[in-house]
């Protein structure tokens, strides 16, 4: 596959960040992007262009009806200067599942992978070096046809942009505070909860802002029917630890994003000898667990957020503190093991890493 590449004159290249510790999540973008259009039922010529604004019909279906999907990936820089992708084939699979759910064409996995590798190779200098920092990858597909009938677009743009990022939570690897949403829900059975589509995130913004204003980093969503069972957090899946058993919400309801980090945590925890149960856990049980101390730990797991210890859940007007607001041993062990694989500090025993 031939990917054409733009040559950007030296004086048009962006000034790179000077201190990677000051990078905020998703605010800085690299010089180039990967692009490919779907027109008349086929994918056209893939190319690397300058990172630049898109020209869209004001009536584009993506803008009018939210026909828009994305992925979240990271390239981690190793000591030797290689860029490590973490289970990229899973991202591609999930992307194409999201595409199907949103009546969009699938992207050829080879085009996705080659486009990504070519872009990364050109932009590798943008990758931060510190553990906890990375080059965040945002593959996106939007319906670009301009029309107002509620039908799928017949034209699409698939693109990949890159953002050098620091930790998702500015505090770094420290316990966060979470607001449990008792009124608003994220996804209902039969809806789009398991797809990585823009509307799921758009619908979460209002309550997320409300929580942030009150001092909480994220929102925990409960199931839509009973408003009782924990599902996931705004930017990550969530795990609870009781008696050294890890619990996380099951995927069967179709309301939960099937996280790559979630799947990797389950596999690693099993290999460390812990039992992992993908079972519905109610807020009632969690509150009890914080009271009698049986709830040992709680942590979030996601690509952007990595592993995020949770120190407090605000529910029914009260703050429920977990593990004295300290990072637990299992959370720490999983975080360190994951980071070690991603940054190439240890050999990858799973075959999860693809180096560029």
Contact residues toward ligand COI (CB under 6 A) are: 72, 201, 235, 302-304
**Residue 191 CB, nearest approach to ligand COI (Å):** 17
Strand partners of residue 229 = 282
**Residue 259 CB, nearest approach to ligand COI (Å):** 8
Closest to 108 measured CA to CA, from 1, 31, 204, 181: 1
Q: Which is nearer to ligand COI, 72 or 289 (CB)?
A: 72
Integer angstrom CA distances of residue 93 from 34, 88, 110, 258, 259? 19, 9, 12, 11, 12
Question: At 125, phi and psi to the nearest 5?
Answer: -65, -20
**Residue 355 CB, nearest approach to ligand COI (Å):** 20
Q: Which is nearer to ligand COI, 205 or 346 (CB)?
A: 205
Residue 355: helix, strand or coil by DSSP?
A: strand
**Residue 338 CB, nearest approach to ligand COI (Å):** 13
Q: Are 275 and 243 in contact (CB under 8 A)?
A: no
**Residue 86 CB, nearest approach to ligand COI (Å):** 11
**Residue 25 CB, nearest approach to ligand COI (Å):** 8
Q: Which is nearer to ligand COI, 48 or 260 (CB)?
A: 260
Q: Which is nearer to ligand COI, 164 or 289 (CB)?
A: 164
**Residue 61 CB, nearest approach to ligand COI (Å):** 21
d(CA 293, CA 346): 34
**Residue 71 CB, nearest approach to ligand COI (Å):** 7
d(CA 218, CA 179): 6
Q: Which is nearer to ligand COI, 88 or 302 (CB)?
A: 302
For the record, the structure tokens of 186 come out as: 């994220």
Q: Find the residue with minimal CB distance to ligand COI.
A: 72
Q: Which is nearer to ligand COI, 299 or 323 (CB)?
A: 299
Question: At 342, phi and psi to the nearest 5?
Answer: -65, -40
d(CA 93, CA 106): 10
Q: Are 51 and 31 in contact (CB under 8 A)?
A: yes
Which segments within the chain are labelled E, that is strand?
4-5, 32-39, 42-43, 47-50, 68-70, 73-77, 83-86, 134-143, 156-165, 176-180, 218-222, 230-233, 237-242, 245-248, 275-278, 295-302, 306-315, 318-321, 353-355
Q: Which is nearer to ligand COI, 257 or 286 (CB)?
A: 257
**Residue 138 CB, nearest approach to ligand COI (Å):** 8
Q: Which is nearer to ligand COI, 46 or 302 (CB)?
A: 302
> Can you tell me which residue has the tokens 């667990």?
289
Question: At 214, phi and psi to the nearest 5?
Answer: -90, 0
Q: Which is nearer to ligand COI, 220 or 304 (CB)?
A: 304
């Amino acid at each position: 596959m031939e990917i054409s590449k733009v040559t950007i004159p030296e004086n048009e290249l962006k000034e790179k960040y000077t201190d990677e510790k000051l990078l905020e999540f998703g605010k800085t973008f690299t010089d180039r992007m990967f692009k490919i259009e779907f027109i008349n039922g086929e994918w056209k010529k893939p190319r690397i262009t300058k990172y630049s604004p898109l020209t869209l019909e004001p009536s584009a279906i993506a803008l009018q009806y939210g026909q828009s999907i994305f992925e979240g990936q990271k390239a981690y820089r190793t000591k030797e200067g290689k860029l490590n992708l973490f289970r990229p084939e899973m991202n591609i699979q999930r992307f194409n599942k999201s595409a199907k759910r949103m009546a969009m064409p699938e992207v050829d996995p080879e085009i996705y992978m080659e486009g990504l590798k070519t872009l990364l190779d050109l932009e590798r200098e943008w990758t931060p070096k510190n553990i906890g920092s990375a080059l965040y990858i945002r593959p996106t597909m939007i319906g670009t046809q301009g029309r107002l009938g509620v039908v799928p677009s017949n034209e699409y743009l698939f693109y990949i942009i890159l953002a050098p990022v620091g930790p998702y939570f500015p505090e770094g690897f420290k316990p966060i505070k979470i607001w449990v949403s008792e009124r608003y829900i994220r996804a209902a059975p039969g809806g789009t909860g398991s797809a990585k589509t823009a509307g799921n995130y758009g619908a979460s913004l209002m309550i997320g802002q409300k929580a942030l204003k009150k001092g909480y980093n994220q929102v925990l969503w409960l199931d839509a029917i009973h408003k009782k069972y924990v599902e996931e957090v705004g930017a990550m899946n969530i795990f609870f630890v009781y008696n050294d058993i890890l619990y996380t919400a099951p995927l069967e309801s179709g309301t939960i994003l099937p996280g790559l980090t979630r799947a990797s945590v389950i596999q690693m925890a099993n290999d460390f000898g812990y039992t992992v149960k993908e079972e519905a856990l109610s807020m009632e049980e969690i509150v009890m667990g914080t009271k009698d101390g049986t709830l040992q730990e709680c942590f979030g797991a996601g690509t952007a957020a990595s592993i995020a210890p949770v120190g407090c859940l605000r529910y029914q007007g009260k703050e429920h503190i977990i593990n004295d607001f300290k990072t637990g041993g299992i959370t720490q062990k999983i975080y360190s093991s994951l980071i070690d694989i991603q940054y190439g500090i240890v050999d990858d025993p799973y075959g999860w890493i693809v180096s560029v």
